[in-house]
Amino acid sequence: MSTTASDADTTIAQHVGAVWADDVLPMLHDYIRIPCVSQAYDPDWKAHGHQDRATEMIRQWCAARSIAGLTVEVLELPGRSPLIVAEVPAFNGGPADDTVLLYGHCDKQPEMTGWRADLGPWKPVLEDDKLYGRGGADDGYAAFASMLAIEAAQLAGVAHARLIVLIEASEESGSPDLPPYLELLADRIGSPTLVLCLDSGCLDHERMWVTTSLRGLVGGDLRVDILEEGVHSGEASGVVPSSFRIARILLDRLEDSATGKIRLPELHVEIPDDRRHQADDTSAEFPIGGHFPLVDGAQPMVLEPAEQLLARTWRPTLSITGVDGIPPIEIAGNVLRPHTALHLSFRLPPTCDGDAALAAIERCLTTDPPYGAKVQFLHGHTGPGWNAPTFAPWLQTALDDASTVAFGRPTRAFGEGGSIPFMGMLGEMFPDAQFVITGVLGPGSNAHGPNEFLHVPTARKLTECLAHLLRAHAAR
């Protein structure tokens, strides 16, 4: 490495470290305090104003950065959540006719129960290297890291191409508002050759991890009605079937309850050989079975490490994430309830056709309902999965170099079990682009759950990596 490159690395590391400590962390404390829950969980989000507060706070911070030619604005189409758009022209001889797109989001998952007594979703707490609170790691840090990486790169004299930064506010709802904005901004975005997304995870905090695939999703509400109103369970049970049991029968059509295997062929795909080999290689060094807070004595559904990775990335799953029509135990009377409603959350293999999967699920649940019950599958929605194109040689080298400079170790890759619908959309729009999907959600960080935290050193080092990747892209 030349002296010039070494000096640039030092400048980037020093600037990123100082701004993270003095500026970014206080801003993330303020961001965590804002309950900007995504629209799927807060139908009155606009009236509550939390999304507007969060986006304006982030806009002001971004606009204040010392970045040559920077413009920052908040767009808001009628009836849509806001979108922060930052644009930076090419710098120091970087290619002006080429574009890098950086992506993050600022909406949050709902509170969830089970937080430690001294923690809470809207209460930022810095403990050792962990910043606790909802949304810091998923994905509030992304806007700050992206803009700081650009600022540090320019301060170090690093050339970069034209840059577009998008921070959306509907990702946790499946990004329903993003397509209209992508259409609106199509000319400004152009055809990026590199996309950087900071909404994924990592299997440890010792290197930069890149995500090679993301699952798609299907969601919807299964509602079973059997009575017009509740009746005495002693009077009616044995004659009137339980709406809960009917729901169980229907779920058995979808899933083998003994194994968790999804029965519908439309939700399965052939797993590519390269992803099987990757699972073998990664699991040998980074088994994931111990990453989850299982109760004492419990064990995972599958025990073999490579199969665990494939089960969370390339095989469909069903989770019941919400229930209606069932009263809390302390006020539950001896009543045969009129209905049961369950929110079904399916994760799909990356290359699965989400629309075909949704149609198969609805058909399976509503055809020939048990006992002639009224069965509906309501609010069905899909989000595309994504399978990364092979890294170009320059990008693989750049990833390893950036991770080595910032973390001291080269990158590793793995398939992620979560979903980022934006990536599927962009994958279709820009099939020739290179994609770097990365993030800070490591072991125990518990995105969407209680005690979510941001591992601050990882976020800081990942910020450095972004600056190095901008340099490598401009020089390729």
- CATH fold of the domain at 218-275+284-289+300-382: Alpha-Beta Plaits (3.30.70)
d(CA 145, CA 168): 15
Q: What is the pLDDT of residues 381-413, one digit of tens each?
A: 999 999 998 899 999 999 999 999 999 999 999
CA 329-332-334 angle, 5° bins: 135
CA separation, residue 232 to residues 225, 249, 325 (Å) = 16, 23, 16
| Selection from 56, 156, 167 nearest residue 101 by Cα | 167
Structure confidence at residue 292 (pLDDT): 85
Q: How many Å apart are CA 76 and CA 87, to the nearest integer?
A: 17
CATH number for the segment(s) 3-214+385-475: 3.40.630.10
pLDDT at 339: 98
- Helical spans, DSSP H, in 337-441: 354-366, 393-407, 421-429
3-state secondary structure of 25: helix
Phi first, then psi: what are they for 471, rounded to 5°? -65, -45
CA dihedral 420, 453, 83, 439 (to 10 degrees): -50
Q: How far apart are CA 103 and CA 115, in angstroms?
A: 29
Whose CA is closest to 472, among 389, 384, 411, 385?
Answer: 411
pLDDT of 2 reads: 43
Output DSSP code: residue 139: I
The strand pair at 162-168 and 99-105 is best described as parallel
User: Do residues 39 and 45 make contact, with C-beta atoms less than 8 angstroms apart?
Assistant: yes
Distance CA 169, CA 394 (A): 33
Question: What per-residue confidence (pLDDT) applies to 291?
Answer: 78
Looking at residue 3, its pLDDT comes to 44
Which helix H or strand E contains 7, and what residues bound it?
Answer: helix 3-19
| Segments making up each domain of the chain, as ranges | 3-214+385-475, 218-275+284-289+300-382
Cβ contact 11:152 at 8 Å: yes
Task: Find the DSSP H helices in 318-420.
Answer: 354-366, 393-407
Q: What does the pLDDT profile of the chain (476 residues) look like in tens digits? A: 444 678 999 999 999 999 999 999 999 999 999 999 999 999 999 999 999 999 999 999 999 999 999 999 999 999 999 999 999 999 999 999 999 999 999 999 999 999 999 999 999 999 999 999 999 999 999 999 999 999 999 999 999 999 999 999 999 998 999 999 999 999 999 999 999 999 999 999 999 999 999 999 999 999 999 999 999 999 999 999 999 999 999 999 999 999 999 999 999 999 999 999 989 988 888 887 777 889 999 999 998 999 999 999 999 999 999 999 999 999 999 999 999 999 999 999 999 999 999 999 999 999 999 999 999 999 999 999 999 988 999 999 999 999 999 999 999 999 999 888 888 888 889 989 999 999 999 999 999 999 999 999 999 999 999 999 999 999 99
Do residues 417 and 350 lie in contact, with contact meaning Cβ atoms separated by under 8 Å? no
The pLDDT assigned to 4 comes to: 67
Question: Any residues with CB less than 8 A from the CB of 222 and at least 6 apart, and which?
Answer: 247, 250, 251, 341, 342, 343, 344, 365, 375, 376, 377
Q: Report DSSP letters for 171-237, one per residue.
A: GGGTSTTHHHHHHHTHHHH---SEEEEEEEE-S-SSS-EEEEEE-EEEEEEEEEE--SS-EEHHHHB
